[in-house]
Amino acid sequence: MSLTMTPLAAFFVLSAIGAAAALLVPAERNPPVLSAFGAASSAALLFAGAAGLLSGSSPSLTYWHFLPLGALRLGLDPLSSLLVLLTGAIGFPVSIFSGTYLLRYREEYDLGYFGLLYHLFLAAIVFVLVARDVFSFLVAWEAMSVLAYLLVTYENDKSDAAHAGFVMLAMSEAGMILAAGALLLLANGAGSIDFTAIRAAAPHLNPGIRWAVFLLSFAGFAVKAGLVPVNSWLPLAHPVAPTNVSALLSAVMVNLGIYGIVLVNLSLMPLHGTAPGALVLAVGSLSALIGILYATIESELKRLLAHSTIENMGIVTAALGAAMIFLAAGEKLPAALALLAAFYHLTNHSLYKALLFTGTGAAQTGSGTRDLDRMGGLIHRMPMTAIFFLAGVMAIAALPPFNGFVSEWLTLQSILRSTLLASKPLRLLFALSGALLALTAGLAMTCFVKVFAMGFLGLPRSDEAAGAVEAPRAMRSAMALLTAACLLLGILPTYAIPLLDHVVKELGGSSATGALVQPFFLVGPSGGQGLSAQFVRDFHAIGAQVGKGLLPGRGLVILLRGAAQNPVVFAISPTYGVIAFPILLGLTFVVFRLATRGRRVARRAVWVGGLGRLVPALTYTASGFANPVRVVFRAVLRPTVTEHVTEEVSEVFRPMVRREQIETHVVDRFLLGPAASGLRRLAGLLRRMHSGSVNLYASYVLLTLLLAFAIWAGSH
């Protein structure tokens, strides 16, 4: 067994032992046992994924000869290795977090049952990633969907959990049917269920079958990725699921939706024109904007993060769409850049979303609430949790030096490469997509400024927030690990890019490293490595070779040179930035101190309209902070007034008018609502046929037989 497959086998063995142990150990021992086995199995995944990426090989093994279908195989390629690595990177800290978090359920729910589901869920996710035939893939996908449903409905005595779980399972099954249709079409064309055989036969499929495969696979896998318009399950499932489950759903499971789209449309089947990529780009851009818009106006923290997941999956999908267009147009280098941006952002989102969900769980454990309107002031009572949560907020808002900045910068740079396309409609689509993604970035900043400011700064707005205590050490340790990963991917992107480039080269046929990470550490002052002497001297003057001789690699600058018709150079270096920022901050402080030397700072009470002190009722809430966004986007949100109550406060004051507004999601309003109404009307028409008359039912049967006979006779 290879170096890659050995830790993979260890993962499945540890998962099986962990699942068995969950049923055998006493209830009070279940959380630490789950934490230990979950962390150990996730560490095995880290080794397997890293070995698969670094080796560049695609090992596989046959685990069953199923005679009607042939050999069933498992294996790893660079794409699945990356997602296995991500699953381990998230599973490890989330398992550590779970050891303390699950104690809240020990009095009411069966922790052994949860531990069984937890290990089986991780195993099903990994089985999807390592399946190398249609049968294994679909069986593992179905198991993953059912286990996710059982985890979401773990608190089964709550009606909202049952509703959310039903919607999630129904949408997952619908997506499964569509995706299965796409894979079966490919298998039928190849005469085999093996992915290798499908990959060899797919170029010979006729255009109609290719279009059917694309539409079915994109619609089916988009459900799991949470893309608009099949995203309804995400904001329903997250608030009712345990927080550690929410972290796995948003940071791991949704990745499999992207994996399915890429597997079918870039790995198994070659592209057939730019139209599929254009559709993917449009859906991704709209998903990003709609997701962050609803996140910005939300005050329930887990539901807000669920909408944010839709946004981030939209950004990843938009980058994939751009890559598909560039590949179909023969522009391999821009396609490599877009693919790299997609996988970098997928990686980053997994890390900072897991950090924010574990931070939410820690904040709820310490304060008893996750409603931003009832939080506030937690930074004084939960300082370490606040620091780690701030890191996650900066990462998801794309602020340096954290990882979100790099991948969003790369995504926008890939959109700007549209000048290389000859088609004017495609260039217009790229321009609109860039505008939507820029608006998304601005709203994301607004959204997460609100999250941290209303949740952790200011005054506590409830008794729970006022009595908050710091989260337990295990929770803080998990958040610390995720914070370190977000920081490393933010300040050392020139080391992450070559690692992700293994996936890019396999799918796009071109390397992104050579175009993005110039070999400044490998050249002398006179140039070399394809770089002119003048180019090297210019960038040497601004520090591109700082660190040469001390650090390995090609350099610490991400640099993108335009084509001949657009010779603009775009460059960033988060590594040098994280060094320069403290220096500039220190110099600013020194200058300020020198300028104000001899002056005394006077502290006075805050003036609050004549009141003796500032009270929480006079401070901003999360709902108030987001109200300008509601006003600006009222045409999209179109809130419905559900309550209008007038109360007499006093004879000398005007009556109090209370209105409660509910925003009907734009997808429900324009797509799902009309479809449901149409089905209800159709059901009403069909119901009239049920008169209770046996003679009438017999006539229906006779008419059906006559119609069938007429059709048969006409065809012969």
pLDDT in tens, 585-627: 999 999 988 888 877 777 777 777 766 677 777 777 877 777 7
Contact 543, 527 (CB under 8 A): no
Write the burial class of residue 108 (CB in 10 Å: 0-12 exposed, 13-18 middle, 19+ buried): exposed
Please report the pLDDT score of residue 665 as a whole number.
73
By C-alpha distance, which of 415, 438, 275 is closest to 341? 415
Q: Tell me how far apart the alpha carbons of residues 353 and 299 are, in angstroms, rounded to a whole number.
A: 17
Provide the β-strand partners of residue 560.
Answer: 570
Both structure tokens of 403: 């990882």
Contact 395, 353 (CB under 8 A): no
Choice among 423-437, 482-496, 651-665, 678-692 with the minimum mean pLDDT: 651-665
Please report the pLDDT score of residue 412 as a whole number.
93
Q: How far apart are the first and last CA of the chain?
A: 60
Q: How many CA atoms lie within 13 A of 170 on its CB side?
A: 11
By C-alpha distance, which of 98, 125, 104, 96 is closest to 12? 125
SS3 of 527, please?
strand
Residues 351-410 pLDDT 10s: 999 999 999 999 999 998 999 989 989 999 999 999 999 999 999 999 989 999 999 999
716: pLDDT confidence band, cut at 50, 70 and 90? Answer: low
Choice among 1-15, 199-213, 325-339 with the minimum mean pLDDT: 1-15
Report the chain's mean pLDDT, rounded to a whole number. Answer: 88
Residue partners of 27: CB distance under 8 A and separation at least 6: 106, 110, 111, 112
Please report the pLDDT score of residue 619 as a whole number.
78
Residues 155-183 pLDDT 10s: 988 888 999 999 999 999 999 999 999 99
Average pLDDT over residues 552-559: 86
Average pLDDT over residues 231-259: 94
Please report the pLDDT score of residue 600 as a whole number.
78
SS3 of 661, please?
strand
Q: Is the pLDDT of residue 534 over 80?
A: no
Please report the pLDDT score of residue 605 as a whole number.
75
Please report the pLDDT score of residue 531 as a whole number.
75
The CB density around residue 128, as the number of other CB atoms within 10 Å, is: 25
Please report the pLDDT score of residue 645 as a whole number.
56
- Element (DSSP H or E) covering residue 60: strand 60-66
Q: Is the pLDDT of residue 422 over 60?
A: yes
Please report the pLDDT score of residue 640 as a whole number.
63
By C-alpha distance, which of 631, 616, 619 is closest to 296? 631
In sequence order, what DSSP letters do the residues of 344-386 get, joined into one string? HHHHHHHHHHHHHHHHHHHHHHHHS--BGGG---HHHH-HHHH
Choice among 348-357, 498-507, 560-569, 677-686 with the minimum mean pLDDT: 560-569
Q: How many CA atoms lie within 13 A of 456 on its CB side?
A: 22
Average pLDDT over residues 530-544: 78
Sign of CA dihedral 297, 303, 309, 310: negative
Residues 14-23 pLDDT 10s: 999 999 999 9
What are the structural domain ranges in the chain?
Answer: 1-132, 156-270, 275-511, 513-576, 617-663, 666-715
Please report the pLDDT score of residue 568 as a whole number.
74
Q: Token pair 């959990």 is at which residue?
A: 161
Residues 254-291 pLDDT 10s: 999 999 999 999 999 988 889 999 999 999 999 999 99
Residues 624-650 pLDDT 10s: 777 788 777 776 766 665 555 555 555
Per cent of the chain over pLDDT 90 is: 59
Average pLDDT over residues 572-583: 89
Per-range mean pLDDT, top range of 464-473, 480-489, 509-518, 557-566: 480-489
Q: Is the pLDDT of residue 442 over 60?
A: yes
How big is the chain, counted in residues?
Answer: 716
Please report the pLDDT score of residue 648 as a whole number.
55
Q: Is the pLDDT of residue 124 over 90?
A: yes
- Secondary structure, 3-state, 483-507: HHHHHHHHHCHHHHHHHHHHHHHHH
